[in-house]
Amino acid sequence: MTMDLFDGASTLEAQEQLAPGAMLLRGFAVTDERELLGALAEVIAQAPFRHMVTPGGFRMSVGMSNCGALGWITDESGYRYGPIDPLSGQPWPALPEVFLRLAAQAAERAGFSRFVPDACLINRYEPGSRLSLHQDKNERDFGEPIVSVSLGLPAVFLFGGSRRSLPPRRIGLMHGDVVVWGGPARLSYHGVLPLKEGFHSLVGAQRLNLTLRKAG
């Protein structure tokens, strides 16, 4: 499956409410795609992708990095946010201005005003990579939303309810789509099915996902 710039993006911007407090913004990031990817390359040059290990010893299939005042970390000690990249011993790279601007605009569109994230977890999915159902609950303030930006290959996003036992919806996400969830949906379980093989003209044979949040 080969994709060109237009096949890999949601070219007609639309929005869909997934649940109270959760909004899918189709193609919302397409206008900023090149600026986003340029800024992301600078971040990854400072804090390369790595496969983190869960407290149970499981090596995650998704490559991860962070930028912002805080970065999400998992190791044998548990899940947490910290200001220092454990690989380099240096602070995580600063949040690029384009990340901050896009996150604030998407949150505003979804009904969450004045959103200022201090952390961005960056996930790199390669064919076969997946993310099991989980809640984002290591942040201090659940009153702020999560803003998730999809770049590159399409993926099937799982979006469930407040309990793992509730069956999640399967939502196809394309390059440039943004999902925002907060309020009553803030602790919804979510995940990603194994990524299928393909190629995107701007991103290559991978999917890059930016999840911006207020962690501290």
Q: How is residue 143 written in tokens?
A: 């009153």
Give pLDDT tens digits for 144-191. 999 999 999 999 999 999 999 999 999 999 999 999 999 999 999 999
Tell me the fold of 2-213: Jelly Rolls (2.60.120)
pLDDT-derived band at 2, boundaries 50, 70, 90: very low
What's this model's pTM, rounded to 2 decimal places? 0.93
How far apart are alpha carbons 79 and 138 in whole angstroms? 7
- The yes-or-no verdict on residue 7 having pLDDT over 90 is no
Contact predicate 180/37, CB 8 Å: no
Could you tell me where the beta strands, DSSP code E, fall in 48-203? 63-68, 71-75, 78-82, 119-125, 131-134, 146-152, 155-159, 169-173, 178-181, 190-192, 199-200
pLDDT-derived band at 13, boundaries 50, 70, 90: low
